[in-house]
Amino acid sequence: MKDFKSLLKIEFQRIFSNKVLLAIFFGAPLLYGFLFGYVYQQAKVVDLPMLIVDEDHSPLSDKLIDAFQDNEGLEVSEVRYTSGDIAAEMPYREYAAVVTIPQDFEAEILQKRHPEVRVDLNMANILNANIASKNIQSVLLTMNAGIEIEGLKKQGFSPEQAKDSYESFKINFNKLYNSTGNYLTFMLPGLLAAIMQQVIFLALALVFARDFEDNYFRTLANTNKWSVYHIGLKAVPFFILIPVMWFLVSGFIPYFRIDADIFNLPMLLLTILLSLASMGIGMLFSIIFPSQLKATELLMVISTPAFVLSGFTWPSLAIPVAIQNFAQIIPLTHFLNGFRKIAFYGGDLSSISHELGFLSIIIAVSFMAMSIILHFKIKKIRSAGEVQLAS
């Protein structure tokens, strides 16, 4: 135990002497937490630029333009009376949508000829296009209903009768779990978890690889022959440092007023298992690849697409089965599945048993692989040392 404490002190010194490791481990989560938090702070997209081509130039088309201007999600950047060359303008103006009100719009409505309002959506940015489409449809449907009701009133219907005649049935949408559609609530927790996984990956990828590069591992191997001893030696400093980082990162949830229940026992257990699984994979790569650069590069291959493959933003059902299976070996996949169940659905430990089980398997497999591979590396070094002594 005395030797372990002495070596542990050296481990802390080696960690804090590595400026790259410190910058990644302490700087990245806090920097990206603030950065992403403020990026999504507005919580929803507003004032998407749109162009209106008013070929009718009538009182009714003016009323429709006013309705678009009153919608908070849209900003009428320009109204013109001929379309011009919109394709040539798009690289400079980047309209989310172009709405064309046809010639004789008002006259055809009065004559019940059902004119067509054309909407051209800019699909280069699908998120903007979807939001613009939703708001444009809302304006047009409301306007359409208003015109129909006014027509019925002119035929002698009372306002109540006109409304009842137009509405065959009512629709009531009840939004659950992030009912306001707050994009910050949706994105930031997932991004923070992805950042923490990547930071743990990269930090643990350096622990053994650095020892192999500067031959410090030879000293460690001759100190103790048990691989579990050395795994524990490398892990203990991070058992202290990782909870500190999780504590700091979790502060972004109340700081940005995100409505998510994360301070509870199921979330604590899920976070612990994510950390251990990420440590296991990072340390395993550090043992297999005795080069800091190679270990970190290969781990980046896993961590970079992890957020996309997790199914957090893009449904897992829409991902090919082979890629879904690959995503199962990434701890973040199971953490984010469990996170949604706990933070938004109010689930308990039984609701995340599937995710806890998979994370436990990743921990067990990575620990067994580490122990076996490290055992042979230690044995090789100690055997070489015994041969030198004998000679």
Per-residue pLDDT of the chain (391 residues), as tens digits, is 667 788 888 888 888 887 777 887 888 888 888 888 887 777 678 889 999 999 998 988 899 999 999 998 899 998 998 877 777 777 778 888 899 999 998 888 888 888 888 988 888 877 788 889 999 998 988 888 777 766 666 666 666 665 666 555 456 667 778 777 788 888 889 999 999 999 999 889 888 888 888 888 888 888 888 899 999 989 999 999 999 999 999 999 999 988 888 999 999 999 999 999 999 999 999 999 888 888 888 888 888 888 888 888 887 878 888 888 988 999 999 999 999 999 988 889 999 999 999 999 999 999 999 999 999 988 888 777 654 544 4
**The pLDDT value given to residue 235:** 92
**The pLDDT value given to residue 387:** 45
> Residue 296 in 3-state DSSP?
helix
* Domains detected in the chain: 2-40+183-390 (no CATH), 48-166 (3.40.1710.10)
d(CA 305, CA 297) in angstroms, rounded, equals 13
**The pLDDT value given to residue 163:** 63
Q: State the pTM of this model.
A: 0.80
In the chain, which residue ranges form alpha helices assigned H by DSSP? 2-17, 19-22, 28-39, 59-70, 86-93, 105-110, 126-154, 159-166, 183-205, 207-213, 216-223, 227-250, 252-255, 265-288, 292-303, 306-309, 321-327, 331-343, 353-390
* CB contact at 8 A, 45 and 187: no
How would DSSP label each residue in 167-228? -SS-------SSTT--HHHHHHHHHHHHHHHHHHHHHHHTHHHHHHHTTHHHHHHHH---HH
**The pLDDT value given to residue 161:** 62
Bridge partners (DSSP) listed for residue 121 = 97
361 contact partners, CB below 8 Å, separation of at least 6: none
* CB contact at 8 A, 197 and 274: yes
For residue 243, CA distances in Å to 113, 196, 249 come to: 68, 11, 10
The pLDDT tens digits for 68-80 are 999 988 999 989 9
* CB contact at 8 A, 352 and 338: yes
**The pLDDT value given to residue 390:** 47
> What strand order describes the sheet that includes 48-54?
74-80, 48-54, 97-101, 118-121
For residue 85, CA distances in Å to 52, 78, 88, 132 come to: 13, 14, 6, 21
The pLDDT tens digits for 257-308 are 888 889 999 999 999 999 999 999 999 999 998 888 888 888 888 888 888 8
d(CA 71, CA 51) in angstroms, rounded, equals 14
Report DSSP state, residue 316: G
* CB contact at 8 A, 293 and 379: no
